[in-house]
Amino acid sequence: MSSTAIIAIITTFIIGSFILSAISYTKQQALKKRKLMIKRLQQQADEALSSIPPLLKIDKDYDLILQLQTLAVNALSKTLNLNPEDKITQNNLNTQKIKLNEYTQLQRHDEITCWLTTDAELSSTQSQLSYIEKLLDLYRNNGGLSVTKHQELKHHLNALQQKLSINTYLYQADTHGEQNNITLYQHYIKRAIHVIKKTSIEASQKIQKIKELSERIQEVKRTGRANELVNLIKPSETIAIDGLEETSILE
């Protein structure tokens, strides 16, 4: 075999090796990119789904819940498109589609209350709601939410946070009032007033609510009795559970 033929064979082998290496590298990069995309989509779905449970317990509206559930379903659908053989994702997607249908029909299995019973519960729930606000910002930035929808949902979320704080403070005021703990009774009413001042409710309504609560403080100072007053928000033992969400001071 001539030297020219040998050189040609070696050159062909080298070129072939380069081509195979390039093909292998391209496939590896595509696989890596696909895995990264799947991981990102699964994370998006998990973040959206983990944000829904607290809303189901305190938010009687469905707009924000539906938006988060839709985002989760879309993320799971894209994940399945990238990995059609993934049975776990398929089952999860089927489950979340059923829940989305329930929420669309305004169905849920959770009892709704417009207050929490302790400062610790309030702090924990407010942290969860702040996390949802960050998620909304993220979805707006990556195109998952329009600017208009993003603003609507943030406005609703902020109003929900304020309402929850006010009603929780009033619930605690009632609890301490029943025990005739005048100091804490006044303390929690003042905290509720502080939040009401920051709300965006109509001015005359805001003034009226503040006036009513301020009169409560003055009444307790005058009589030294809080346990004889009608509760501000806390239901009596005879009130039906189904009606609890209707007693919010801001409604």
String of DSSP letters for 74-109: HHHHHHHHH-TT-HHHHHHHHHHHHHHHHHHTT---
Domain that holds residue 231: 136-237
What is the model's pLDDT at position 235? 87
Domain end, chosen from 112, 127, 144, is at: 112
Q: Are residues 144 and 215 in the same domain?
A: yes
Q: Are residues 149 and 98 in the same domain?
A: no
CATH classification at residue 145: 1.20.58
The Cα–Cα gap between 182 and 16 comes to 88
Reduced to 3 states, what is the DSSP secondary structure of residue 236? Answer: coil
Would 12 be classed as within a structural domain?
A: no
Would 187 be classed as within a structural domain?
A: yes
What is the model's pLDDT at position 162? 95
pLDDT of residue 3 exceeding 80: no
- pLDDT band, residue 7 (cuts 50/70/90): low
Q: Are residues 99 and 44 in the same domain?
A: yes
Q: Are residues 142 and 201 in the same domain?
A: yes
Would 244 be classed as within a structural domain?
A: no
pTM as predicted: 0.81
Q: Are residues 97 and 150 in the same domain?
A: no
**b or e along 178-199 (b: 16 or more beta carbons within 10 Å of the residue's beta carbon)?**
eeebbeebbbbbebbbebbeeb
Domain end, chosen from 56, 80, 112, is at: 112
What is the model's pLDDT at position 115? 94
What is the model's pLDDT at position 33? 84
Q: Are residues 108 and 150 in the same domain?
A: no
Q: Which of 113-122, 135-144, 178-187, 241-250 has the lowest mean pLDDT?
A: 241-250
pLDDT in tens, 103-136: 999 999 999 998 999 999 999 999 999 999 999 9
- Which has the closest alpha carbon to 234: 182, 165, 170, 190? 170
- pLDDT band, residue 216 (cuts 50/70/90): very high
The Cα–Cα gap between 141 and 145 comes to 8
Structure tokens at 70: 């839709």
Domain end, chosen from 112, 147, 171, is at: 112
**b or e along 17-51 (b: 16 or more beta carbons within 10 Å of the residue's beta carbon)?**
eeeeeeeeeeeeeeeeeeeeebeebbebbebbbeb
Would 176 be classed as within a structural domain?
A: yes
What is the model's pLDDT at position 10? 60
Would 19 be classed as within a structural domain?
A: no
Would 14 be classed as within a structural domain?
A: no
Structure tokens at 8: 């040609």
Contacts of 211 (CB under 8 A, 6+ apart): none
Specify the number of domains making up the chain: 2
Q: Are residues 144 and 229 in the same domain?
A: yes
- pLDDT band, residue 32 (cuts 50/70/90): confident
Q: Are residues 81 and 172 in the same domain?
A: no
Length of the chain in terms of residues written: 251
pLDDT of residue 241 exceeding 50: no
Q: Are residues 168 and 92 in the same domain?
A: no
- Which has the closest alpha carbon to 245: 58, 56, 53, 105? 58
Q: Are residues 187 and 103 in the same domain?
A: no
Burial class for 139, CB neighbours closer than 10 Å (0-12, 13-18, 19+): buried
- Which has the closest alpha carbon to 158: 147, 150, 169, 170? 150
Q: Is there a contact between 73 and 97 (Cβ–Cβ < 8 Å)?
A: yes
What is the model's pLDDT at position 28? 72
Would 77 be classed as within a structural domain?
A: yes
pLDDT of residue 60 exceeding 50: yes
Between these two residues, 150 and 12, which has the higher pLDDT value?
Answer: 150
What is the model's pLDDT at position 242? 33
Q: Are residues 155 and 209 in the same domain?
A: yes
What value does the mean pLDDT take over residues 85-101?
96
Would 29 be classed as within a structural domain?
A: no
Q: Angle CA(131)–CA(132)–CA(133) in degrees, nearest 5?
A: 90
What is the model's pLDDT at position 244? 35
Q: Are residues 147 and 87 in the same domain?
A: no
Residue 84 carries which side chain, given as an amino acid letter? Answer: P
